[in-house]
Amino acid sequence: MNTFEKIVTAIRPFGYPYEPDVYTGSSEEGWFTYNYADDYGSGFADDMPTAVIASVQVHLFLPMDQNFISLKNAVRKALLQQGFLYPEVTTFTEIISETKKYRHIVFETSILEEDAL
């Protein structure tokens, strides 16, 4: 299973729509996006990497009035259960229009990229 498939496996049970990079749907209840932040070689031997580490970001957008703490913790746990390192979480406010304000929760984590070499 590749890195994005593992992300989808982690977030699908929460019932929000999801897309890589940019969400183009119309959900007002919330959504996920996800992207590579970077990837890099690791465990070098004879000047060649023996593994590739993928750093990813999973973004969760929720209406500002929604209580997010338990959901944030559940998403973090779901990513961990898929083999990602324990995610760092940052929260922002996204103002989309005068009437639409969303909480933007970013989960930053890494994983050993399978079959990358």
Q: pLDDT tens for residues 22-80?
A: 999 998 899 999 999 999 888 788 887 888 899 999 999 999 999 999 999 999 999 99
Give the separation between CA 13 and CA 15, rounded to whole angstroms.
Answer: 5
What is the reported pLDDT for 117?
Answer: 65
Domain range annotation of the chain: 3-106
pLDDT band for position 115 (50/70/90)?
Answer: confident
Q: Superfamily for 3-106?
A: Phage minor tail protein U (3.30.70.1700)
The string of DSSP letters for 54-96 reads EEEEEEEEEETTS--HHHHHHHHHHHHHTTPPPPEEEEEEEE-
Nearest Cα to Cα of residue 86 among 69, 108, 70:
108
Give the separation between CA 117 and CA 106, rounded to whole angstroms.
Answer: 28
The continuous run of DSSP H or E covering 6 comes out as helix 3-11
Other CB atoms within 10 A of residue 64 CB: 12
With a cut of 80, say whether residue 116 has pLDDT above it: no
Residue-wise pLDDT tens digits, 1-24: 899 999 999 999 999 999 999 999
Q: What's this model's pTM, rounded to 2 decimal places?
A: 0.91
